[in-house]
Amino acid sequence: MSRQTVHLKHLRVCQPFRVEFHGMPPCEISYSRPPGLTRRQKRRPAVASCVSRPVLLRGPIFLLYLFPCAVATPVQCFLMYYCCPSLLCLAKSAPVSCAVKLSRAPFLHRHCGCAMIMNTLYPNNCPKWERTMTLQKLRRWLGFPLEDRYRVHIEQDIVQSSLRPGIFSALLILAFQAVMMVLSLLRKGGPFASLRRQGYWWLYVTLFSVTLLFLLLIVFLMRRRRPCLDTFFLPLQTFYTAFLCLWGTCVTLLDQFGGNSLSVFTYVTLSAAALTVLQPWQSALIFTGNCLFLNLLLPYTPAGPDNFYSNAVNSCFVTLGAFFISLWFYRSKVSSRYAKIIIEQQNADIRSMNVQLDKMAHTDELTGMKNRRSLERLPLDDRWNEMPPVSAMMVDIDFFKQFNDTYGHLAGDECLQRIAAVIRQFMEGREGVAVRFGGEEFFICLFSCSRAQVLEAGETLRAAVERCGYPRGDLPQGCITVSIGAATTEAENAPRLEDLLSRADKALYEAKHEGRNCVAAYI
């Protein structure tokens, strides 16, 4: 019989009930107290032992069975939250990490969905933690749905994509209001013939003025630095959208004095939802407040009391539709920009990996020099046109196989690294490329270097290797030496790499034939 210990804090003993841990075989939970602990000492945790036989655990939950399901939901939630925190806040040593299921209270699944009785309850679940998680989810649903590190980039993209449509819509509204003002002036009696005409006139003038101010502010922000535009455009657009919806509501209320139409409210609200980018909390606040403002004032219009129900239903449906249109539009914008950012990040990662792979493919790991494969990228044609002639040197470490057999391969690797360091120092200030050709051989290509210059450079390199003084007791010199074969091409056309390699290799053979530790030129 297996036994595990679960700490249940502040457990109070009352009527018994059965508890099952969902996702496990039926287990027994029996309540016990440490020796010497009375019921009034509540600060120390109680201990429950889990064994294989089902028994009963005493607790305050028996009160849940005394109330009907439809009546006792608040009491049930209160008891589950505050009277039995032991089942809500399981210790980390609990035998399972999923839900606690009450076999005698199945109705709790229906009434305590936001409390503890769920099939996927997390460990250490408690009301405060659950309320925090709910608020976080609600905040993400009504606000920015992604992580905050993406907010700046996504909002910048939204500003750039919304700038032209916003300017075009404002210009269209400006032109339409100008036309309506002209038509009001041309009507018989003018715009001040009645109070209703005066209301329309001042509404046209107000929207024209606010739209013109909105455009001037956008132009001002565009002429300044881009961070100003990214920072202030979206709040400015939100304010203008709220004003536009309020303006449409005022026109609708004015229309009620000559009819019973909600057309202006409908098309202004839906247009604002479809053409502007608003966060869900902003659209909910603007459209809901606008709808409440309309329905609070509609009963005071001439036809308001008779048509209040139909107007309220229609305006609520329009508001709900506008909210979901705005929500879908905002989420689609954010998701598309998020996908773009992810693709850009993946492309950047791929480019970085390609650079690293390319470096690994064209770099010798032991010496850090370029390898033989990098010679494929040697720009002989371009260099020949810029700085002829081109010379090459093939450098070989003398008796390197014998050195490896005598001192070991680790010493051979250290020797190669030392020679590579000397060659890198030699190439400083010279136009050319130095690579490890393979084994103990190094290839050097020098641009704008004549035959006499390459022989002088070869002798300089040979002496530098000898001066580095890497000890070697099996040679008369007592140190590492190299043999160098040099070749130069001064043809009219650009030389081929294969020709340079072949000539330098033949010159190296001549240097070895002459006794090594010398420089030989290809004739």
Do 236 and 273 lie in one domain? The reply is yes
Do 159 and 296 lie in one domain? The reply is yes
Do 513 and 481 lie in one domain? The reply is yes
Do 109 and 232 lie in one domain? The reply is no
Do 17 and 125 lie in one domain? The reply is yes
Strand ranges in 308-413 using DSSP code E only, listed in sequence order: 390-397
Q: What is the CATH number of the domain that holds 500?
A: 3.30.70.270
Do 393 and 305 lie in one domain? The reply is no
Domain span at residue 127? 4-137
Do 292 and 422 lie in one domain? The reply is no
Do 111 and 174 lie in one domain? The reply is no
Q: Examine residue 367 and state whether it is found in any structural domain, yes or no.
A: no
Q: Which of 28, 130, 155, 440 is catalytic?
A: 440
Q: Examine residue 249 and state whether it is found in any structural domain, yes or no.
A: yes
Q: Examine residue 213 and state whether it is found in any structural domain, yes or no.
A: yes
- Does the active-site annotation cover 440? yes
Q: Single out the residue in 137, 171, 191 at which a domain terminates.
A: 137
Do 227 and 376 lie in one domain? The reply is no
User: 209: Cβ–Cβ under 8 A, 6 or more apart, which residues?
Assistant: none
Give me the average pLDDT of each 10-residue run along the chain (523 residues).
40 41 44 46 38 34 34 38 37 34 36 36 47 71 80 85 90 94 89 89 95 92 78 90 95 86 92 91 93 92 83 93 93 89 92 90 89 79 66 92 90 92 91 89 89 91 89 84 89 72 91 90 79
How many domains are contained in the chain? 3
State how far the Cα of 508 lies from the Cα of 442, in Å rounded to an integer: 11
Q: Single out the residue in 113, 137, 161 at which a domain terminates.
A: 137
Do 423 and 321 lie in one domain? The reply is no
Report angle CA 456, 461, 465 to the nearest 5 degrees. Answer: 150
The predicted structure's pLDDT at residue 380: 66
Do 124 and 192 lie in one domain? The reply is no
Residue 389 CA neighbour count, 13 Å, CB half: 15
Q: Examine residue 360 and state whether it is found in any structural domain, yes or no.
A: no
Q: Examine residue 504 and state whether it is found in any structural domain, yes or no.
A: yes
Residue showing tokens 């009930």: 17
Nearest to 501 by CA among 489, 491, 493, 512: 489
Nearest to 18 by CA among 48, 61, 51: 61
Question: How many residues appear in the chain?
Answer: 523
Report angle CA 416, 419, 422 to the nearest 5 degrees. Answer: 150
pTM of the model: 0.56
Report angle CA 516, 520, 523 to the nearest 5 degrees. Answer: 145
CA distances from 374 to 70, 352, 361, 388, 443 (A): 80, 19, 8, 21, 11
Q: Single out the residue in 137, 170, 187 at which a domain terminates.
A: 137
Do 130 and 178 lie in one domain? The reply is no
Q: Examine residue 366 and state whether it is found in any structural domain, yes or no.
A: no
